[in-house]
């Protein structure tokens, strides 16, 4: 009974994954008349140390790291704040929960397009004209996506907007597993709201919080869609926002360099596995489930 799915997984995940490792040791190009030749670790050497070729890849790695380092605490913190606000028995609370969750169902290609308008560089762009209004006309037009300094920040903002509802829902479920009696006891002890948060809420969702943070860090290394859409049509600064996956796709697709793209893929996978292993290690002790 397990046959079809397991066969599918082996064919479309297991084999291609092993194949990626193999391809990364070859000089293989798509559509090239030359036979693939064994390359040893040359692809990796080029990615990391070649003065001419390693630039874009190292930049992608750095960009992706920046993205992760900002997004993980920002998005997890925001999701926790929202989850606590929404963990109430208020009228219409379900409506609020749905609202904050809604962007999660938006395809990233569309999210990128909406934010392309909000961040448009003309003085008619939504953000620019809002800043102009609050600064009484002192704000000139700024090219948020096209400027190397703000391009990554723009990608971060739109990604957090789209994704925070997902983490919020997980944290909300974690909060609801904390027994209400703990809060009642804390109230009797005249614990302040902050003390309740510090001594009841935080320990109660520690495991969930770590899980969410690690999930977010894995997801943040998979960033691709929004960068691709905005580079292709939105005037996004490519060098400031290229990510590891963006680099893999352009290397495979635009340069037909399958060997090098496979090496990037392997590096990507090692990062993701390292993060997952850290998560397992951190979550285990505190997780009673």
User: In this complex, which beta carbon is closest to another protein, that of residue 9 or of residue 51?
Assistant: 9
Q: Round to whole Å and give the CA distance between 159 and 68.
A: 11
User: Rounded to the nearest 5 degrees, what angle is found at the Cα of 231, between the Cα atoms of 230 and 236?
Assistant: 80
Instruction: Choose the stretch contacting another protein; rule: CB under 8 A; options: 50-58, 62-70, 147-155, 261-269.
Output: 261-269
User: In this complex, which beta carbon is closest to another protein, that of residue 16 or of residue 286?
Assistant: 16
Residue 108 CB, shortest distance to another protein, in Å, is: 6
State which of residues 25, 57, 67, 211 lies at the interface with another protein (CB under 8 A).
211
State which of residues 37, 149, 198, 232 lies at the interface with another protein (CB under 8 A).
232
Residue 70 CB, shortest distance to another protein, in Å, is: 19
User: In this complex, which beta carbon is closest to another protein, that of residue 51 or of residue 186?
Assistant: 186
State which of residues 34, 35, 38, 88 lies at the interface with another protein (CB under 8 A).
88
Rg (Cα) of the chain, in Å, rounded?
Answer: 23
Quick one: which of 153, 161, 121 has its CA closest to 241?
A: 153
Residue 207 CB, shortest distance to another protein, in Å, is: 8
- From residue 108 to residue 147, the character string flagging contacts with another protein as x (rule: CB under 8 A) and all else as - is xxxx-xxxxxx-x-xxxxx--xx-xx--------------
Question: Packing angle between helix 54-86 and helix 244-253, nearest 10 degrees?
Answer: 130
State which of residues 76, 87, 217, 220 lies at the interface with another protein (CB under 8 A).
87
Contact 146, 121 (CB under 8 A): yes
Instruction: Choose the stretch contacting another protein; rule: CB under 8 A; options: 37-45, 57-65, 78-86, 143-151.
Output: 78-86
Q: Round to whole Å and give the CA distance between 217 and 220.
A: 5
Residue 50 CB, shortest distance to another protein, in Å, is: 20
Site membership for another protein, residue 98 (CB under 8 A): yes
- φ and ψ of 26, to 5 deg: -120, 155
Cross-strand partners of 29: 257
**Secondary structure of residue 51 in the 3-state scheme:** coil
DSSP class per residue in 106-160: S-HHHHHHHHHHHT-SSTTSHHHHHHHHHTTT-PPP--TTTSTTTHHHHHHHHHH
Helix (H) or strand (E) holding 266: helix 258-286
- Per CB under 8 A, which of residues 144..203 are in contact with another protein? 161, 166, 169-170, 172-181, 183-184, 187
Site membership for another protein, residue 245 (CB under 8 A): yes
User: In this complex, which beta carbon is closest to another protein, that of residue 149 or of residue 173?
Assistant: 173
Q: Round to whole Å and give the CA distance between 131 and 119.
A: 11
- Per CB under 8 A, which of residues 11..30 are in contact with another protein? 12-14, 16-17, 19-20, 23, 28, 30
Instruction: Choose the stretch contacting another protein; rule: CB under 8 A; options: 43-51, 58-66, 142-150, 224-232.
Output: 224-232
């Amino acid at each position: 009974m397990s046959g079809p799915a397991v066969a599918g997984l082996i064919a479309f995940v297991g084999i291609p994954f092993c194949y990626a490792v193999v391809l990364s040791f070859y000089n293989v190009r798509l559509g090239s008349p030359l036979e693939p030749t064994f390359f040893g670790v040359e692809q990796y050497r080029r990615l990391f140390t070649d003065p001419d070729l390693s630039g874009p890849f190292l930049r992608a790695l750095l960009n992706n790291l920046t993205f992760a380092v900002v997004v993980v605490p920002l998005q997890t913190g925001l999701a926790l704040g929202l989850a606590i606000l929404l963990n109430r028995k208020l009228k219409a609370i379900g409506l609020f929960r749905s609202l904050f969750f809604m962007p999660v169902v938006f395809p990233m290609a569309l999210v990128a397009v909406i934010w392309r308008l909000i961040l448009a560089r003309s003085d008619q762009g939504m953000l620019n004209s809002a800043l102009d209004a609050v600064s009484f006309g002192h704000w000139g037009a700024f090219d948020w996506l096209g400027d190397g300094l703000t391009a990554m920040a723009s990608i971060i903002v739109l990604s957090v907007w789209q994704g925070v509802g997902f983490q919020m829902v997980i944290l909300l479920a974690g909060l609801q597993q904390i027994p209400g009696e703990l809060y009642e006891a804390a109230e009797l002890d005249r614990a302040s709201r902050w003390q309740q948060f510090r001594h009841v809420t935080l320990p109660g969702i520690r495991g969930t919080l770590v899980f969410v943070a690690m999930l977010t860090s894995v997801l943040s290394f998979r960033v691709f869609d929004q960068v691709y859409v905005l580079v292709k049509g939105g005037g996004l600064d490519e060098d400031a926002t290229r990510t590891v996956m963006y680099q893999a796709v352009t290397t495979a697709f635009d340069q037909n360099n399958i060997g090098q793209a496979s090496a990037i893929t392997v590096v990507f996978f090692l990062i993701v596995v390292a993060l997952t292993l850290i998560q397992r290690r951190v979550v285990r002790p505190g997780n009673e489930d």
